[in-house]
Structure 1
């Protein structure tokens, strides 16, 4: 298992490079892409099983000692995010190989490089390498967003590139400022040095931390930095949009990781620096995105605004800053990412079946295979709204329970319940327009094969599994939250003998933790 920590980064990197250099026919590209993605899913399951015991594992590339070398760190949360990425990637790629990968060049190579960047961002223990992996996934996403070469993709694509380029520039400034104040980029080492910083350094350290929060808010699409997302996601090809369901969660993940590890309650002069800003921004994001869902004129636009609403819900849990609330946010992150990916694929099936009308919320002819497609849309809708019996309801209940004793409980309950009600109204209207108020004309022949339904059905099966096994999933999420909110084990795993609490690398019970290959 030692080398498995680096495998989620190395496997897609090798597959992507091979696909670029070998110039293989499309069938061979599909075979390599699917095999690599399925292999990633197997590795991710192994990593989750390894991390579920609670021990941290660090992997130092090139045998350079921390904090000088590149380090990857595995814990419950990073393993879970790698698994979630693999599940979304499998559904997206299996949908793409049915024809969506033919509208442009190098789709499969770009897809693998995207996975490389995502997994690297989840596993890295270094702020500069977090920037590097951000750039890898963003460059790949720029090309994937424009895949297909449609005219309507150009302006949203330009906005997407511009806002993320600005975010990357600010990230470099923030990282440079923090490096200048602490002398390190290793996150575990920075946590130690920030906690011991002198009061005279407080202003600059807090400025760097808050500037970095702005960058992560861009990645997560929090208000007011989300305006680039709805149009960009709406014009992307369906498998790309489905994969992008995990992109905003990268922003939420790094907020959770950085502001629990480096700027948590024990961070001295920068303790909990993000908390006064995060919860209000999250709740406002949730409310504004909800009205965006209500005002949407296409199913894809609704899915894009629901993406933003899901980030608002997740960051609200993080902003409550308790183990219970963060555990609820992690569980809801799993549910919402799977649901958004499913909704984008269903929206594409609707678009392809309605001809020139596409997925606009207007009266048109009956859809081919209307029964199966209608049930898929219904399942995706109730999952997105968060009503029983699917896992979204359980996630929102956990979040509401966690906020009950918080000073902002009224605002959290109001925003979450308003979102559920108005999203239900919007999705009911959409279903009525698309499936109920149709013309009397016979549906045309289906422009897709039955196999096109298998990837969305697979994602729906994951949501059902998350519902059926809600108790163990919530328990894992709660354990991941506890591990995040107690970063001493993470720091000891990375720094070893130089950690302030002693030389041993231990799991939660005191047993030695796996340290990875050197």
Structure 2
């Protein structure tokens, strides 16, 4: 049992607690502590990635209470990948925030770190109830972050976000209660063993609980028709918060992958592949509605927010297919789209600060300062988001297209994804040409100078689209191995029996 598994949870927890008591400390001190804490989270995540790369599972039982009764953390390749992806994103967002976005709320860094703690618990937990707890931790922090900066423009979208997620949390609690009433456990490895043994009337109870759980995860992932809260909420949030929230929908995607491959996978008897017949068409519809929203966006942040919905549809379609190739492709695309979308949120904020009263609206305005730098960053992000060569989004979408077996699903996925990508190119081309090139005579109010920290943070996330291409071979090998590990559910359940007899992995 390695104590390293607790590091991504304990580091932000302790850092957040310390920040709570430093609300009146100099902001420079709070910023230094916040960045240092986030950097330590990244370092610990890289250690766990190295540990997970050998293909074995590692567990940590709090208080040495063994599963299925104790609280356990489980590390595998998927959890390690999500931790590294999130910590890299968090470090860039935190760097951007110290450029001034963290001002006006003494507890910004506290909320930021508690958000990371909730995310990391979600990725590491081996228990459905603790997944619920993780969702509540990250959601409570996200409520404060969403309202950071104040103003009535954030109140209504924030209220919608809070109400919908409270409803989702209630359904989550009811669904796990239904499953527990039949199986007597919420440990995911234990559920994978006991779900196939459920029969009779109990089968309908578990099926209803499983479908309700899928609705909750679909809400978190912003799957159609539960996605319309997202564009306004994300577009109105401050830039580093919106960029960090790029990973929030991926938590829903992660939960679907983890629970519905393990607990309701091919070995779940009569409940095998529960809900997957619905997931594929809904994913394609989500992709389509995201493209329509992007075409109609009137500002850059809304355009990027709709891109989040496009990415959710693009991710869940191959996940619903459930093959090793499609899962690997989805994970490759997951890494690319999360960092790209986050980078575009930050670039949109930089553009807004250079265009005076026009802000990030897609309208003509006097020429901005630093147009070349911001134009290049936006173009690279747009190329990656739309899936054009030679950046990472192209390789992710090619892998998704190649992963589909010939048949009706292939026809639907290829058609929707290719047409959607073409229309996404049009949406970004329209926005970029108007904002960067269709200028009018006149003078802007004196714009704020572009600060080195914020430009570096935004540029780093955009540059990662190139890094992913350079490391495409190793990353693809890792995602292939991750997909194989996910589909080998027997290996996951073995850690339960091993732990119960007192052995240590």
Is TM > 0.5 for Structure 1 vs Structure 2? yes
User: 2:329 matched to which residue of 1?
Assistant: 328
Compute the displacement of 1:504 (Å). Answer: 10
User: 1:231 matched to which residue of 2?
Assistant: 232
User: 2:297 matched to which residue of 1?
Assistant: 296
Structure 2: how far apart are the matches of 1:304 and 1:54?
Answer: 35
Whether the 8 Å CA contact 2:264–2:274 is kept in 1: the answer is: yes
User: 2:90 matched to which residue of 1?
Assistant: 89
User: 1:285 matched to which residue of 2?
Assistant: 286
User: 1:19 matched to which residue of 2?
Assistant: 19
Q: Could you list the per-position Cα deviations for residues 313-371 of structure 1 after superposition, in whole angstroms to 9, with x for gaps in the alignment? A: 10001011111001100000000000110000000001111111110000001111111
Answering whether residue 413 of structure 2 is matched by residue 378 of structure 1, we say no
Whether the 8 Å CA contact 2:279–2:317 is kept in 1: the answer is: yes
Answering whether residue 472 of structure 2 is matched by residue 470 of structure 1, we say yes
Compute the displacement of 1:493 (Å). Answer: 1.7
Q: How does 1:470-509 map to 2 (within 5 A)?
A: 470-496=472-498
Q: Could you list the per-position Cα deviations for residues 53-75 of structure 1 after superposition, in whole angstroms to 9, with x for gaps in the alignment? A: 10010110110011000000000
Structure 2: how far apart are the matches of 1:232 and 1:180?
Answer: 36
User: 2:453 matched to which residue of 1?
Assistant: 451
Q: Could you list the per-position Cα deviations for residues 137-159 of structure 1 after superposition, in whole angstroms to 9, with x for gaps in the alignment? A: 00000000000011100000000
Compute the displacement of 1:27 (Å). Answer: 1.2
Structure 1: how far apart are the matches of 2:27 and 2:33?
Answer: 10
Structure 2: how far apart are the matches of 1:458 and 1:124?
Answer: 30
Structure 2: how far apart are the matches of 1:473 and 1:422?
Answer: 28
User: 2:173 matched to which residue of 1?
Assistant: 172
User: 1:390 matched to which residue of 2?
Assistant: 391
User: 1:163 matched to which residue of 2?
Assistant: 164
Structure 1: how far apart are the matches of 2:93 and 2:236?
Answer: 16
Compute the displacement of 1:247 (Å). Answer: 0.2
Structure 2: how far apart are the matches of 1:56 and 1:104?
Answer: 41
Compute the displacement of 1:204 (Å). Answer: 1.2
Structure 2: how far apart are the matches of 1:445 and 1:114?
Answer: 32
Compute the displacement of 1:2 (Å). Answer: 1.4
Whether the 8 Å CA contact 1:338–1:459 is kept in 2: the answer is: yes
| Counterparts in 2 of 1:98 and 1:177: CA distance versus 1, 3 Å | same
Compute the displacement of 1:472 (Å). Answer: 1.0
Q: Could you list the per-position Cα deviations for residues 406-446 of structure 1 after superposition, in whole angstroms to 9, with x for gaps in the alignment? A: 43111101111111101100100000110110123466454
Structure 1: how far apart are the matches of 2:245 and 2:271?
Answer: 32
- Partner SS state of residue 73, structure 2: strand
Whether the 8 Å CA contact 2:67–2:499 is kept in 1: the answer is: no
- Partner SS state of residue 149, structure 1: coil
Structure 1: how far apart are the matches of 2:424 and 2:160?
Answer: 27
- Partner SS state of residue 414, structure 2: helix
Compute the displacement of 1:403 (Å). Answer: 1.1
| Counterparts in 2 of 1:397 and 1:504: CA distance versus 1, 3 Å | farther
- TM superposition score normalised by structure 1: 0.95
Compute the displacement of 1:497 (Å). Answer: 6.0
Structure 2: how far apart are the matches of 1:130 and 1:494?
Answer: 18
Compute the displacement of 1:405 (Å). Answer: 2.4
User: 1:440 matched to which residue of 2?
Assistant: 441
Q: Could you list the per-position Cα deviations for residues 455-512 of structure 1 after superposition, in whole angstroms to 9, with x for gaps in the alignment? A: 01111232211111111111111111111111111111233165xxxx798xxxxxxx
Tell me which moved more, 134-143 or 479-488. Answer: 479-488
User: 1:72 matched to which residue of 2?
Assistant: 73
Runs (5+) with no aligned partner, structure 1: 506-513
User: 2:46 matched to which residue of 1?
Assistant: 45
Structure 1: how far apart are the matches of 2:155 and 2:236?
Answer: 9
Structure 2: how far apart are the matches of 1:408 and 1:353?
Answer: 45
Tell me which moved more, 266-275 or 402-411. Answer: 402-411
- Partner SS state of residue 72, structure 1: strand
Structure 2: how far apart are the matches of 1:71 and 1:495?
Answer: 14
Tell me the matched-pair count: 503
Structure 2: how far apart are the matches of 1:447 and 1:165?
Answer: 41
User: 1:146 matched to which residue of 2?
Assistant: 147
User: 2:204 matched to which residue of 1?
Assistant: 203
Compute the displacement of 1:105 (Å). Answer: 2.6
Whether the 8 Å CA contact 1:287–1:418 is kept in 2: the answer is: no
- Partner SS state of residue 408, structure 1: helix
Whether the 8 Å CA contact 1:492–1:504 is kept in 2: the answer is: no
- Partner SS state of residue 140, structure 1: helix
Structure 1: how far apart are the matches of 2:437 and 2:351?
Answer: 13
Structure 1: how far apart are the matches of 2:22 and 2:339?
Answer: 33
Q: Could you list the per-position Cα deviations for residues 172-207 of structure 1 after superposition, in whole angstroms to 9, with x for gaps in the alignment? A: 010000000100011110111102222442211111
Structure 2: how far apart are the matches of 1:192 and 1:295?
Answer: 48
Tell me which moved more, 189-198 or 214-223. Answer: 189-198
User: 1:510 matched to which residue of 2?
Assistant: none
User: 2:4 matched to which residue of 1?
Assistant: 4
Whether the 8 Å CA contact 1:245–1:307 is kept in 2: the answer is: yes
Structure ranking higher on relative contact order (CA contacts 8 Å, 6+ apart): 1
Q: Could you list the per-position Cα deviations for residues 352-402 of structure 1 after superposition, in whole angstroms to 9, with x for gaps in the alignment? A: 111111100000011111110100000010010000000111110110011
- Partner SS state of residue 408, structure 2: coil
Structure 2: how far apart are the matches of 1:497 and 1:289?
Answer: 44
